[in-house]
C-alpha cells in the first residue's frame, strides 16, 4: 500500500485547487479528486500523522447484520458529528443511522445501529483533518452555511472468486443528505469498483475508479445519483477488499437537535 506522508501547511496552489473543485461541484453536482490533490487539500486542514493506524482500523470492522439479512455481506462502523462553519467538528453520542425508503429501497425506513467507530480513530488527526476539510468545503457551497449533522461510515467490501463484492448493493442512489465525500482508504487484490455518477433520468455523467489511497469523490447529493460497480478478486485464493470512508453532511435548523439521518 502507498505510504501517506502529507503534513499541514497551506501551499500556494491549494486555494486554486479548492476553488476549482467548488466550481465543479456547483456546476455539475460532483467532482472527482486525485490522491495527490486530495492529499494537498487535507494537509491544509490538518495532519495525517496517524494514517497507518487509521488504515489498520478497517481490519477491525464488524459485519453489517442488516445487509446480511438481505443475503449480502459487508463490514462497517459508524459515528456521528456536528459542526457549523464557525465551529469545529465535534463528536455526538452514538446513534442510529436512518434513511427513508425513497433513498434506500433495500434498507430504508429502519433504524440501523452499527458498531461505533473506535475512539482512537474519532480522536485521531487523520479523521479530524478530513472532517475539517469537509466542513470548510461544504460550508462554502451552502448559502447561508447551516448547522451540519455529519455521519461517518467505514466500509469494507470483500470479494471472493465465487461472489462479487457490492459496494452499493442498493444500486445507483442518493443518500438523502446535502453533500457526500467518498474517500478511498485502501484496496487489495480487486478489479473494478468504479464510482459512477448519474443524472436523475439515468444518464451517465461521469465515472472514476478510486484506485489509490486518498482518491475521492465529492457529491452534491440532491442533484445527482451515485453508485459503484461490483468488485472481483484479481487472484482467486487471496483476500480481496475495498476500504472506503464515506462522510455525509446534512443541513439541520440551528435550533434543532442532531437527530439521526
pLDDT digits (tens, 9 = 90+) for 180-230: 999 999 999 999 999 999 999 999 999 999 999 999 999 999 999 999 999
Rounded to an integer, the average pLDDT of 131-155 is 95
Task: Provide mean pLDDT across the span 114-142.
Answer: 97
Angle CA 169–160–104, to nearest 5: 5
In this prediction the pTM is 0.86
* Cα 11 to Cα 69: distance, rounded to the nearest angstrom: 48
pLDDT of residue 191: 94
The pLDDT of residue 70: 52
pLDDT above 90 covers a percentage of the chain that reads 69
Confidence of residue 13 (pLDDT cuts 50, 70, 90): low
pLDDT value of residue 57? 98
Look at residue 145 in the predicted model and tell me its pLDDT. 84
pLDDT band at 253 (very low <50, low <70, confident <90, very high): confident
C-beta of residue 99 within 8 angstroms of C-beta of residue 108: yes
Task: Let me know: does 142 contact 215? Beta carbons within 8 Å.
Answer: no
> 21-252: what fold?
Jelly Rolls (2.60.120)
- Across the range 165-184, mean pLDDT stands at 88
What is the pLDDT of the chain when averaged over all its residues? 86
Reported as a pLDDT band with limits 50, 70 and 90, residue 114 is: confident
Q: Which residue has the higher pLDDT, 256 or 186?
A: 186
Amino acid at each position: 500500500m502507498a505510504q501517506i506522508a502529507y503534513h499541514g501547511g497551506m501551499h500556494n496552489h491549494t486555494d486554486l485547487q479548492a476553488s476549482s473543485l467548488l466550481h465543479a461541484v456547483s456546476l455539475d453536482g460532483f467532482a472527482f479528486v486525485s490522491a495527490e490533490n486530495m492529499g494537498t487539500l487535507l494537509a491544509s486542514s490538518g495532519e495525517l500523522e496517524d494514517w497507518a493506524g487509521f488504515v489498520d482500523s478497517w481490519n477491525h470492522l464488524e459485519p453489517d447484520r442488516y445487509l446480511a439479512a438481505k443475503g449480502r455481506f459487508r463490514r462497517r462502523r459508524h459515528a456521528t458529528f456536528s459542526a457549523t462553519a464557525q465551529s469545529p467538528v465535534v463528536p455526538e453520542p452514538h446513534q442510529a443511522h436512518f434513511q427513508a425508503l425513497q433513498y434506500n429501497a433495500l434498507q430504508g425506513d429502519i433504524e440501523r445501529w452499527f458498531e461505533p467507530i473506535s475512539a482512537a480513530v474519532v480522536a485521531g488527526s487523520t479523521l479530524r483533518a478530513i472532517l475539517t476539510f469537509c466542513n470548510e468545503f461544504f460550508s462554502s457551497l451552502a448559502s447561508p452555511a447551516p448547522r451540519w449533522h455529519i455521519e461517518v461510515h467505514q466500509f469494507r467490501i470483500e470479494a471472493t472468486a465465487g461472489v462479487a463484492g457490492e459496494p452499493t448493493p442498493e444500486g445507483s442512489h442518493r443518500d438523502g443528505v446535502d453533500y457526500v465525500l467518498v474517500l478511498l482508504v485502501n484496496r487489495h487484490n480487486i478489479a473494478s469498483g468504479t464510482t459512477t455518477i448519474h443524472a436523475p433520468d439515468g444518464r451517465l455523467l461521469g465515472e472514476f475508479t478510486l484506485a489509490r489511497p486518498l482518491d475521492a469523490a465529492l457529491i452534491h447529493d440532491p442533484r445527482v445519483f451515485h453508485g459503484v460497480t461490483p468488485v472481483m478478486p484479481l487472484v482467486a485464493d487471496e483476500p480481496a477488499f475495498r476500504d472506503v470512508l464515506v462522510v455525509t453532511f446534512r443541513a439541520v435548523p440551528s435550533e434543532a437537535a442532531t437527530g439521526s439521518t
